[in-house]
A and B are shown apart, each in its own frame.
Chain A
Amino acid sequence: KAGVTQTPRYLIKTRGQQVTLSCSPISGHRSVSWYQQTPGQGLQFLFEYFSETQRNKGNFPGRFSGRQFSNSRSEMNVSTLELGDSALYLCASSVQGGDGYTFGSGTRLTVV
């Protein structure tokens, strides 16, 4: 079966712009989580959605937001981009959240 699909794979944006990343979970998975990976901070949890509701949020500023649609697809948005937002953004899906996570290949965001 198809895995977790993240689009786009690569993105270059300018400081101050905003960006939207997309994640399509495995069919039947209703939980979608987002993580930021940087060399300095490692893997950090952004937020988790289940059935269109945000259940958990990490310690990131309000510029980072997300949503989940009725088909379980999820998007995350970063507004007013800063250089420090350059990272690999990973999406993970799970049937209900917590028991096992399948990760996508990620979106590499570069802010210049």
Chain B
Amino acid sequence: AQSVAQPEDQVNVAEGNPLTVKCTYSVSGNPYLFWYVQYPNRGLQFLLKYITGDNLVKGSYGFEAEFNKSQTSFHLKKPSALVSDSALYFCAVRPYSGAGSYQLTFGKGTKLSVIP
């Protein structure tokens, strides 16, 4: 069975500084990896995904993530944080094929606070 770990419940960063939100995963075979963001009382908004190809994935709103197969990690990054980036961030995984390939398994989420 697949699993996702987001080791930090909360990340605080000053506006203008780079930010990193960590994610490690466990899955049989090749993974599909996703990052979503959730604002209060809203659904999940897609940021980016890794399916295959270049390990550095660029997504919406200036976010990017690096797939590291040997460390089974998919950390989310942004060079310069904005106050409007403050939200709850979720990493998710699904196997490329086989059992569970039609469901996303999510991490517990990381609350990002960008301090002005």
Chain A residues engaging chain B, CB cutoff 8 angstroms = 4, 6, 31, 33, 35, 42-43, 45, 48, 50, 55-56, 58, 90, 92, 97-106, 108
Contacts and interface: CB of A to CB of B under 8 A. Distances in A.
B56 interface: no
A98 B27 CA distance: 15
A98 B44 CA distance: 16
Given A43-B90, A90-B44, A101 B109 contact: no
A33 B96 CA distance: 17
Interface of B: 32, 34, 36, 41-46, 49, 51, 90, 92, 94, 100-109
B44 A48 contact: no
Contacts of B49: 100
Given A56-B100, A98-B32, A45 B105 contact: yes
B69 to A, nearest CB: 19
Contact of A31 (B51, B90, B102, B107): B102
Given A43-B90, A98-B94, A100-B46, A56 B102 contact: yes
B51 A99 contact: yes
A42 B106 contact: yes
A35 B51 CA distance: 22
B56 to A, nearest CB: 18
A85 to B, nearest CB: 19
A71 B104 CA distance: 23
B7 to A, nearest CB: 14
B102 A103 contact: no
A33 B45 contact: no
19 contacts: A4-B43, A31-B102, A33-B102, A33-B104, A42-B107, A45-B105, A48-B103, A50-B102, A55-B102, A90-B43, A98-B32, A100-B46, A101-B34, A101-B104, A103-B36, A103-B43, A104-B43, A106-B42, A108-B41
Contacts of B100: 56
A42 B109 CA distance: 8
Contacts of B42: 105-106
